[in-house]
Amino acid sequence: MTAAAVWVRTGVAAVTAAFLTSIAPVPDAHAATARPVDGKALVSAADDLEDWLTHGRTYDEQRFSPLDRINAANVKDLGLAWFADLDTARGQEATPLVIDGTVYITTAWSKVKAYDALSGKLRWEYDPKVPGEAGIRVCCDVVNRGLAAWGRRLYFGTLDGRLIALDRETGRLVWSKLTVDRSKPYAITGAPRVIDGRVIIGNAGGEMGVRGYVAAYDGDDGKRLWRFYTVPDRPGNNATPHLKRAEATWKGDWWTLGGGGTVWDSMAYDPRLDLLYVGVGNGSPWNQAYRSPGGGDNLYIDSIIALKPRTGEYVWHYQTTPGDTWDFDATQHLILADLEIDGRPRAVVMQASKNGFFYVLDRATGQLISAASYVAVNWAKGIDTQSGRPLENPEARIDKTGKPFVVVPGPGGAHSWQPMAYDPRTGLVYIPAQEAGFPYVPEAHWQEAAQGFNTGIDFAAAAMPADPKVRAAVMAATRGALIAWDPISQQERWRVAFKGPWNGGVLATGGGLVFQGNAAKEFAAYDAVSGAKLWSSSVQTGVTAAPVTYSIKGEQYVAVLAGWGGIWALAPGILSEVAGPVRNVSRLLVYRLGGSAQLPPESPVTRPPLDPPATTGTPEQIAEGGRQYGRFCGGCHGDAAYAGTVLPDLRRSALIADVIKRANEDKALGDK
């Protein structure tokens, strides 16, 4: 029946009802043909060679696929099978899911899309309509890292703090739950996980000033089942044993600043031990002199925590950076593996942490087995294997000295969120690493702001100097690498050097290959044993996301999201272009042997002319403007007002110039 006939027969009331039905949550009536993803499927995901069912392919998050149709002998014949242009020109960080011939992705601004895995045809899309103002609540771009599947539904978080369930077959909304207090600067950028119908999700906001937690929701109706806080509330309000223990490790009025400790990315699950592992973020503010005057370990920031997934009960923790003052989250990718160490089998959890050390822990107890630096580190001399604590360099403790210090690695980390991979056949972990120091300058007389970064670090004072020689030296010392790491001997086996940092996540396959995209607009395959580059393809933009692989009728495919973005594309200014200027061209790219699809011609990077207005302010006004810019603007528009290519360079903005000119003419900004 046509819409006109409906109108004639039933009138306005029926049309209104139809409209309300179209936007209201609906049951999974159209999902009858979708194969349910249950606990058995997820626990045995390693045996499913056709699909990619969960974020890291398996609960152990190894990101290794046994598929070997594409291998070292024939990878030279790899070509583009199909691609899909995306409608968000911001950072693309998601790991796709592939289930029963459909590729599911999230994009920037928390949108979801489903494509036919063979042809690339768009099957459906869902836009949660995240308001633009949510972008000011995130430190590091309006990104999303992916979905989780359970039953016939998909689950994902949104930038404005919702957890949403969709019908997997149709993309229709099933339910939506707000998981955060919107009066505080929370966000969600990470992918959820599902364990026995419980949807596990954390949040972000550690740079802004929030109290971190991770929570579980019923996959059927969205009811919250438990919430685990990672840092304590005010004294007297901490009822659970783990928070009572943590309270003694904090000083001052930390709870008024939130404390940080957000669970914004990594998780893993061991079905045998029935333990959920989560990585916990930095303290808020970064500078411990303001966060916890008088010091303390500040549990459980920068920790790997094991929980019981059914109840959220604490089991154990290991803190990588006690009393952190440098933004050294422990939220980097966690991998579970069974290794033979000192002649006996050990069930371990591994992390190449942001602080520059690679940790191997007993995953039943949290005991430190070994730790070693995998890049240059100057804030600590090593890790004491008896206590598990870092042997700190006192000069790096800016919260105690009150003096600036160039710390290596800096807040970008030796390894950020980009997933690594573990190949059980080679026994190697493949790490997307980077080396970039940062001059931490304590901010004098810091006070919490209602909006923007709350770090206690003076970003204006730490800005890149204008001296060309200094800039050249800093850029030369800022680089990236793909490192093959032996977790048993704690030694590097090989390294592929990149001109710049912020390269993509990693996939290892049974074909003896390691796939990774990079900031130099390339997607490449390397020999898993030697590191030799065996194949590469230009993708016209930077790649930070991790690839996946799947199989249809015996044909192997490799899929990756491309789209330059994230914190390194925004905040570091001129350093964001160490590998050259990179445009954001957001696409889903899928490859197979013999693929012959072609990308459109690449457009050059163009910029408006640099035509700054005359300087009219006093030196004091200019310095104060620099401080305000560093705190409230530089995180998105670039250090020293030098923007990359993702967001506008305010020095080149005609709109900004016009606003300032008119404001000065009208005295709208006052005499100052």
pLDDT band at residue 654 using 50, 70 and 90 as cut-offs = low
Structure tokens at 414: 């030796």
- Dihedral angle, C-alpha 180, 184, 187, 192, nearest 10 °: -30
Quote the pLDDT of residue 191.
99
The domain ranges of the chain are 1-30, 608-672
| pLDDT band (50, 70, 90) for residue 26 | very low
Q: Is 327 a catalytic residue?
A: yes
Q: What is the mean pLDDT of residues 586-598?
A: 98
Binning the chain into helix, strand and coil, the percentages to the nearest 5 are 15, 30, 50
pLDDT, tens digit, for every residue of 616-634?
A: 888 888 888 888 888 788 8
* Per-residue pLDDT, 7: 35
Q: What is the mean pLDDT of residues 177-186?
A: 97
Q: Are 145 and 93 in contact (CB under 8 A)?
A: yes
Q: With pLDDT > 90 as the criterion, what percentage of the chain qualifies?
A: 78
CA distances from 410 to 359, 377, 628 (A): 19, 10, 22
Strands 506-509 and 64-65: parallel
| 0.85 exceeded by pTM | yes
pLDDT (0 to 100) of residue 578: 79
Which carries the bigger pLDDT value, residue 461 or residue 416?
416
Q: Backbone phi, then psi, for 626, in 5-degree steps? A: -65, -40
pLDDT value at position 29? 36
pLDDT above 90: residue 614: no
What is the per-residue pLDDT across 497-526, written as a single tens digit (0 to 9) for each? 999 999 999 999 999 999 999 999 999 999
Contact between residue 438 and residue 407 where contact means Cβ atoms under 8 Å apart: yes
Q: What pLDDT score does 12 carry?
A: 33
Evaluate if residue 324 carries a pLDDT over 90.
yes
**Residue 31's pLDDT is what?**
41
The reported pLDDT for the residue numbered 655 is 66
Exactly one of 297, 327, 329, 649 is catalytic; name it.
327
- For 552-582, the pLDDT digits (tens) are 999 999 999 999 999 888 888 878 787 778 8
For the stretch 656-669, pLDDT in tens is: 666 666 655 654 44
Q: How far is CA 232 from CA 250, 302, 315, 475, in A?
A: 9, 14, 17, 40
Q: Which CATH superfamily is domain 608-672 in?
A: Cytochrome c-like domain (1.10.760.10)
Query: In the predicted model, what is the mean pLDDT of the chain?
Result: 92
Lookup: tokens for 80? 């583009």
